[in-house]
Amino acid sequence: MPPALWTVWVLGSVISFPKEGASDQASSLSCDPTGVCDGRSRSLNSIPSGLTGAVKSLDLSSNEITYVSNSDLRRCVNLRTLRLGANEIHTVEEDAFFSLRSLEYLDLSYNRLSYFSSSWFRSLSALKFLNLLGNLYKTLGERSLFSHLPNLQILKVGNSNSFTEIQEKDFAGLTLLEKLEINAPNLQTYAPKSLKSIQNISHLILHLKQPVLLLEIFVDILSSLEHLELRDTNLNTFHFSEVSINETNTSIKKFTFRNVQITDESFTEVVKLFNYVSGVLEVEFDDCTHDGVGDFGTLTLETIKYLGDVETLTIRKLHIPQFFLYHDLSNIYSLTGKVKRITIENSKVFLVPCLLSQHLKSLEYLDLSENLMSEETLKNSACEHAWPFLKTLVLRQNRLKSLEKTGEILLTLKNLTNLDISKNNFHSMPETCQWPGKMKYLNLSSTRIQSLTRCIPQTLEILDISNNNLDSFSLILPKLNELYISRNKLKTLPDASLLPVLLVMRISRNTINTFSKEQLDSFKKLKTLEAGGNSFVCSCDFLSFTQGQQDLAQVLIDWPEEYLCDSPSPVRGQRVRDTRLSPSECHRAAVVSAVCCALFLSLLLVGVLCHRFHGLWYMKMMWAWLQAKRKPRKAPRRDICYDAFVSYSEQDSYWVENLMVQELEHFRPPFKLCLHKRDFIPGKWIIDNIIDSIEKSHKTIFVLSENFVKSEWCKYELDFSHFRLFDENDDAAILILLEPIEKKAIPHRFCKLRKIMNTKTYLEWPADEMQQEGFWLNLRAAIKS
């Protein structure tokens, strides 16, 4: 069903308009067939009327709703999610949520509610998520709000201004919570045992501006909390005072300090809390400010007995105003012996002292991303006997520049298997490098390298070289299982013989034009391929392969959404799976063959027609005519060299040379004849000889016979006369009929010659010798005329 029809269908079944003006508000909801309705940021001032049981999720956040009445949601009996955050709600009627027995998610945050009624929640037994942050209340009310919410998992309460008191009954009835967030920067009163009633809290987030009540809260949650997170707190003035704690079973495993300010002295006080917590495994500092120089002189393993049990330390974006005066922390080295994982990210670290590295005897994971480490300082940090059990080292986005030096420095780390040195500026890669012998994972992504060499260790099982300037891959890696080479400039898939055990390859966003079934099949063990976002040429072979493989999606994890045609231009931007080409594009060889055959047949037909209708003759005559057109229409008198040009067949040469030449050239006065055997210029094109001879002769004599009609060169001479002489309408041609010729023997193309023979007198050679004298007399007269 199209999206537009979805909206119409749901609105038609869900929305009715019993009230005036309700139509405009209801129409601002967009709903899908599953009953999810979106009305965010529509400037609504009330909940749309007519909502029914078809609605399962309703989002009306970021509007101007001020009031929730008993009838607004009465028919939404199947509603599971209700978002009313960021409105102007100041009143909720007592039974407004009474019918929402299936509701699991309720957001009333950032409204103008100054009090809460327990009756709002008494029927919401299925509720799992409740957000009441950012309203105007000072307390959570006189009665327990949450005693009827046995399935509640996530609860958020408080505000940044007016919430000042936590009462003992506030959380009564709650037993298990995954997350409890209390925003109380201005908290003034905390009733003892207020949080103790909750038997188990996985994660508690406290927004406290000052740590005045921190110890009282801490005492109540020791046995029920797993993860304590302190936010937006100034601990500069915190002082630990002895408290009476009877709990022997503490459950806190993690402390998080987020956007907290602390000094050297207050840090010493804070860690005293660890004396009351056994089993803390992880400590995290995120976006904190340390107003000190790292002088923790009073901290010893004896005074902080449980701090030495911490296995994971995470520090992100630590601000140290007196950074250049900071101590080397040598007085706390003895507390680091059991730490297994350390992350110090984006904190301007340029050196880990060698002595500290040597004390980190249990360290297996070290992340120093986004810091200032260089080869020189790394050499000091990875000194002999440093980090003896380190398996994973992350140096992403530091100031490393030489792969060769980096590899040599890390040779001291005998157990190193995973190395991430991405986002450093290596640019080039040396021909060979030295690496720790157990290396299995190497991340060189975004390092601007342009080619790969044997510097890459042969022991690798996972290699990430994505987002570089690589245009080829010709490296043999016999143990490589996973290759990440996206966002480069590769034009083809790597040769499978280079990667015999490859299981996973991600090669998206390169410049690959195509790949074939044979290429994929050559990777014998390949299970996952991500090759979308390339410049695919949607040829017929490629489309036939991709569209004919029904199980392609089992290998191509981003198929079909990321596979788009880049060419041909008519299908650019279309999904490869949906692209169809015309038969002419898919059978181009057959089309070309058919065209060639048609062209050959056409040429053959033209040849036959030319032969049948003397087309060749017409072309020759066109050429002769063009040649003649370049010359003057008639040669000047001074250029006339002969009395007559004689055109005759070679078979008639005896008559011409022994009779006509004798009679004319030995006459007094003699006639000068032009004969092709005698007077044509050697080496000159014969056509030009014919044209020049005719033009330099006063007359042209054609000795017609059956042989003449069959002679090719006589035809040329006659052809040119046909254009040049007959078209000028003069009497330059003299026809001698040497023997009777049937008119049908004269080609039809010589239409004017046939006409002249029908209308003009010609000389006929007499067989009777008595009449031959008269023939010669008439011929001489014709030449002189």
Provide the Cα torsion 738, 739, 740, 742; round to 10°.
-90
Whether the per-residue pLDDT at 391 is higher than 60: the answer is yes
Query: Tell me, what DSSP letter sits at residue 561?
Result: T
The candidate with the shortest Cα–Cα distance to 234, out of 202, 257, 200, is 257
| Cβ count near 480 (within 10 Å) | 24
pLDDT of 772 reads 83
Which residue did the predictor score with more confidence, 299 or 419? Answer: 419
Give the mean model confidence (pLDDT) for residues 165-169: 93
Mean pLDDT, rounded, of the chain = 85
pLDDT tens per residue across span 456-474? 999 999 999 999 999 999 9
Q: Which of 55-59, 111-115, 236-240, 275-279 has the lowest mean pLDDT?
A: 275-279
Distances (CA, A) of 417 to 90, 347, 414, 457: 59, 25, 9, 11
Question: Is the pLDDT at 584 greater than 60, yes or no?
Answer: yes
In this predicted structure, the answer to whether residue 536 has a pLDDT above a threshold of 80 is yes
Q: Are strands 36-38 and 30-31 parallel, antiparallel or unpaired?
A: antiparallel
Per the structure block, which two tokens stand in for 462?
């996972």
List pLDDT tens digits, range 300-326.
Answer: 545 565 566 789 999 999 999 988 888
Pick from 406, 404, 498: nearest CA to 458: 498
Distance CA 300, CA 466 (A): 46
Model confidence at 614, pLDDT cuts 50, 70, 90, reads low
Cα distance between residue 421 and residue 400, in whole Å: 8
75's CB contacts (< 8 A; 6+ apart) are 51, 52, 53, 99
Structure tokens at 698: 């006063």
* Nearest alpha carbon to residue 25 among 52, 54, 50, 48: 48
Asked if residue 137 has pLDDT above 70, the reply is yes
Residue 738 predicted with pLDDT over 80: yes
List the domain boundaries for the chain.
234-241+249-295+305-324, 642-784
Judged by average pLDDT, the poorest of 141-155, 211-225, 627-641, 688-702 is 627-641
Residue with tokens 């006369």: 721
CATH 3.40.50.720 describes domain 642-784: no
Quote the CA–CA distance of 144 and 163 in Å, as a whole number: 16
The closest alpha carbon to 256, from 323, 330, 306, 315, belongs to 315
Listed in sequence order, the residues at least 6 apart from 190 whose beta carbon sits closer than 8 Å to its beta carbon are 165, 166, 213, 216, 217
